[in-house]
Amino acid sequence: MVEKRELLYEGKAKKLFVTDEENQLWVEYLDQATALNGARKDQVLGKADLNNQITSAIFEALILKGIKSHFIRQLSDNEQLVTKVDIIPLEVVVRNYAAGSFSKRLAIDEGKKLNFPIVEFYYKNDALDDPIINEDHVKILEIADSQEIKTIKAAAREINSVLIELFDDIGIRLIDFKIEFGRTADGSILLADEISPDTCRLWDKETNEHLDKDVYRRDLGDIVPVYQEVYTRLKNK
């Protein structure tokens, strides 16, 4: 049984602890919701368990399709064990439909289907407010080299295909999502962090109801019943 040791990092949604295993981290999800780069913050009871359970279910579904991630196993309702990686400071966003910052920046109506899925890179840097960057920027900033960029984009597209089908089966349209990758001790690239309603836009296929963090960002109501709805559908799949 792996042992939890000292706190390594406290983020906006999770705490990471080192363990007695050099290459494994203990992740604790928090009952906390934030928006506007942390400027808005609220305690949301029940969110930690739901995001941990949803992320675990999704990483398990990905594994069945041959997509590896940092996920090792769920430890409790709000904790999981993961492989430690050096996070590549990129927010990799995949979009199937226009929404959010994409709609605003390019004046394209939310909900418009894109002709093909697009992959975008944002530089994960709170001080700079996570600016959008292109592949040349990624190379100039020495965030990743050409081969790694290729690997990341291919993985992002493959993950998108699996997630589209997974959500479609439970009556949900995958609008867009953000993922993160890291480098393992042997230098290979691995999907990390979380995949949850905090990091995806999920719309009910019939009603277009938002089943994701936009409910919090846009003050549309309580997120716990909405996240619960996503988890219930995933569990009963």
Contact 213, 34 (CB under 8 A): no
Nearer to ligand UDP by Cβ, of 19 and 57: the residue is 57
Pick one of 97, 155, 199, 215: the residue that binds ligand UDP (CB under 6 A): 199
Say which entry of ligand UDP, ligand ADP, none residue 201 contacts (CB below 5 to 8 A, set by partner kind). ligand UDP
- Cβ neighbours of residue 21 closer than 8 Å, sequence gap 6 or more: 2
In the bound state with ligand ADP, the residue whose beta carbon lies nearer, of 32 and 108, is 32
Given 200, 211, 215, 234, the residue binding ligand UDP (CB under 6 A): 200
Rounded to an integer, what distance in angstroms lies between the CA atom of residue 10 and that of residue 58?
Answer: 23
Q: What are phi and psi of 27, to 5 degrees?
A: -105, 130
The residues in 135-194 that bind ligand UDP, with binding defined as CB under 6 A, are: 176-178
CB 47 within 8 Å of CB 227: yes
The whole-angstrom separation of Cα 117 and Cα 190 is 21
Distance CA 28, CA 55 (A): 12
Q: State the binding partner of 171 from ligand ADP, ligand UDP, none, CB within 5 to 8 A by kind.
A: none
* Positions that interact with ligand ADP (CB under 6 A): 9, 11-14, 16, 25, 70, 82-85, 87, 180, 182, 192-193
CB of 180 to ligand UDP, least distance (A): 9
Closest approach of ligand UDP to the CB of residue 165, in Å = 18
14-19 β-sheet, strand order: 4-10, 14-19, 24-29, 79-83, 71-76
175: helix, strand or coil? strand
Which CB, 177 or 227, lies closer to ligand UDP?
A: 177
Q: Token pair for residue 51?
A: 């995001």
Q: How far is the CB of 11 from ligand UDP (least distance, A)?
A: 11
Q: Which does 200 bind (CB under 5 to 8 A by kind): ligand UDP, ligand ADP, none?
A: ligand UDP
d(CA 177, CA 197): 9
Residue numbers at the binding site for ligand UDP (CB under 6 A)? 91, 93, 99-102, 130, 176-178, 199-201, 213
